[in-house]
Every structure is written in structure tokens, then in C-alpha cells.
Structure 1
Amino acid sequence: MSEELPPRAVKVTDPRALRAYAHPLRMRLIGLLRGEGPMTATQAAARLDDNVPNCSFHLRQLAKYGFAERVPGADGRERPWRATTLYTSWDDDSDDPDMRAATDQINSVMLGVYLQRGQDYLAIRADEPVEWRVAAGFGDTLLHVTAAELRELTEQVEALLARYDERITDPAKRPPGSRPVTFVQMALPRAVVPPGGPAGGDGP
């Protein structure tokens, strides 16, 4: 039988926990645990090209705030770690200055992580099979929507992506030829254009 799927998401409401999560290596560690299953600090260090003491320290910090945990009942001196949920979420509508600062910090770290992933992909893109070069890549679309419409659109995208959740922890659910893909989601409102100004278009 497949491993029981962990809860889909945890919503972080404590700014201290959010700041603890807002660290490039910690976010990479959680991504590794979620994408490739439980592993020891030694295994994680090898996958991330880091050292074992550093990964061990940051895994303990993630566990302190509930993002990771030791695998129950695992044998061996160095027990594997696992992520406690598939995703981490937080609200950006808080009036608390500490929470707003924490969300700004984590969003900045996430942007840096995603930028690095994009650069890593470009470095190997020329060697990718043509079917994957066509399927993957970058793009953007300009929308004119209300805040409510944007929220609805985001929820629809999240619901569509959730259809693939079970493949994260159950390799038997993955069809032949599938591979891990990072789907980056950003919705970035632009400055308000004054009446009679340019309508805008695709592109930066």
C-alpha cells in the first residue's frame, strides 16, 4: 500500500515561524522532503551539495516550528526526516506589522529560490528532449481583473494542480515518462494606468 498522504497544507499565522521558514536552504530542504520523500540529513546534504551539520541544524529548526519531523519508528542511528505537509501557506492580509514584515521576507526568499531554479533550468535546457523543451518554459499573460476575480482564478489554478497531489507520495500513481516539475505561480498587480494611458500588452 502507498504511504498515507500528509495534509495538503499548513497555514502559518505566527510571524516567528514564518521567519524561521524564510531561509533558502530550509525551503530547499522542505522541497526535497516533499518531492523525494523522507531522507536523512546526510542524504539531503548530498542532494543539495551542502554539508551534513548545516543540513542537520536547519532540519532541526524546521522541526522546531512544525514544518518537518522524524519518521516514526525508523531504525538506525540517523533517523530520516519527512515534511509534515505538502504545502505551506500564509495570509498576506494581516495588519500586524510583524506578520507583514515576515511575509515580505519569505516572499523575497521565494523569489530568489525560483530565480535560481529558472537559471538552473536554462543551463540544461539545450540538452532537454524536444518534447520537454516545448512543454516547459516561461510565459506571462496580462489580465484586467478585480481582486475578487484574481482570487477566484488563483483558487481555480490551485484546484487544478491539486489533482496531482497523490503522485507526490505514491510513485505508483506516476505515469511512465513523468518527471518532477516546479510549477511557479505569481500574480503581480501592476501600477494603475491613468485613464487614456496605454492599454499594455504581453511581456515585462
Structure 2
Amino acid sequence: MSDDETERTVKLTDPRTLRAYAHPLRMRLIGLLRTEGPMTATQAAAQLDDNVPNCSFHLRQLAKYGLAERAPGADGRERPWRATAQTTSWDDDSDDPAMRSAADELNSVLLGGFMQRAQDYLAVRGDEPAEWRAAAGFSDALLHVTAAELRQLTEEIEALLARYDQRLTDPATRPPGSRAVQLIQLAVPRGPHDRGAETAHG
């Protein structure tokens, strides 16, 4: 599979695969392959400040579950790895207790990574140019919406972000002065589920 043939999304559909992906280093490795392109375990270890055997093991595990694969390389001694897709998805609405438990475990690891990324930014924020300090940051909004409205809002946000998709894979489309920015989306209901109100409006 060439770089141009990389799939948009790989979907995780069983508890075993969800739990296999729910590992901080594996998520960081996939993120690195997606943003930096194919690389060897040695190169990945240097980028992530980890050791080569550990990165090599987890890359093989990612390959086992269809998230990474070997890519052609100039050096036959150590061929690079590549991600098989640009994003990973899974369902959070399963009625299967095993799937719900595995999805919760994966979401917990994902949230931990998001929080660490935010903490890392705060640690260096003072060194950022003023224009970037003004543009970046944290905010929140409290909405009163139905589940259907929240899903629609999420789809609208995803459509807006899709305008920048080409820049992920084609550096030539990135304007001067641009840099990688991670937008973190959290949609978290507050308070208990009011089934009476749902019935009254249903």
C-alpha cells in the first residue's frame, strides 16, 4: 500500500483490539507515524525518548491488530513502519458489556494523553510568541441539547476540521508560519440522566 492509498480510518470492532490499542506508548507511536510518516523503531524511540526494543515490540503489536505495517525502506537491515490509516475510530454505543468496558478503558488512556499534552503545553507556554499564546488555549461552553443535537453538532465540527485534512498528508499545502496544533474535543454530559424529561419531550 502506497502513501496515497493509506485509508482514512481504521475501525476497532472487538474488545480485544480495543484493549490492545489502549496503551499510552502504542497511541504515541501511531500518532508519530501519522504525523511524521514512516520510521524505524530506532527513529521512533529517539523521538519518544524510549528504548528501541520496547518500541519495536509495541510496533509489532500494532501491526498484529492492523494499525501499523512494514513500509519499503532503503535500508534492508531495519525497514520502517507506517500507520495503516490516518485516524482510529470505535463505537461507544454498544450494548455488549465487554465492548463498553474495553471502550471505557481505551477512552481513559486517550483522555490521559490529552491531559498530558495540555500540561506539556502549559510548561512551555511562556516561551511561545505572543500571537500563539493569544490563539491557543483552553475554553469551554455549557449547552442544553438533546443527544441528536449533540451528534449533529459533532458532525458539523468534524466537517469544519476536514477543511484542513489535505495539510496532514501534503506538506506543500501548509501555508508559511503554520504548525501542528491538536484540537481536543470533549463532549461530557453533566448531572444525572433525567429520564422523566426525556419522556415528556419524546
Question: Normalising by the residue count of structure 2, what TM-score does the alignment of the two structures yield?
Answer: 0.91
**1:75: which partner in 2?**
74
Q: Report how far residue 75 of structure 1 moved.
A: 2.7
**1:155: which partner in 2?**
155
SS for the counterpart of 2:89 is strand
Alignment of 1:61-140 (within 5 A): 61-71=61-71, 73-76=72-75, 77-140=77-140
Q: Whole-Å Cα distance in 2 between the matches of residues 46 and 5 of structure 1?
A: 27
Q: Report how far residue 100 of structure 1 moved.
A: 0.6
SS for the counterpart of 1:82 is strand
The superposition leaves residues 112-146 of structure 1 with CA deviations (integer Å, 9 ceiling, x where unpaired) of 11111011000000000011111111010000000
Higher relative contact order (CA 8 A, sep 6+): 1
Q: Whole-Å Cα distance in 2 between the matches of residues 103 and 171 of structure 1?
A: 33
Q: Report how far residue 8 of structure 1 moved.
A: 1.6
SS for the counterpart of 2:7 is coil
Structure with bigger helix share is 2
Contact kept in structure 2, 1:40 and 1:80, CA below 8 Å: yes
Alignment of 1:4-83 (within 5 A): 4=4, 6-71=6-71, 73-76=72-75, 77-83=77-83
Flag structure 2 segments of 5+ consecutive residues without an equivalent: 195-202
Is the deviation greater in 17-26 or in 155-164?
155-164
Alignment root-mean-square deviation, CA: 1.5
Contact kept in structure 2, 1:5 and 1:169, CA below 8 Å: no
Question: Normalising by the residue count of structure 1, what TM-score does the alignment of the two structures yield?
Answer: 0.90
Partner letter of residue 164 of structure 1? Y
Q: Report how far residue 193 of structure 1 moved.
A: 8.7
- Percent identity between the aligned chains? 73
Partner letter of residue 83 of structure 2? A
Q: Whole-Å Cα distance in 1 between the matches of residues 40 and 168 of structure 2?
A: 18
SS for the counterpart of 1:8 is strand
Partner letter of residue 74 of structure 1? G
Flag structure 1 segments of 5+ consecutive residues without an equivalent: 195-204
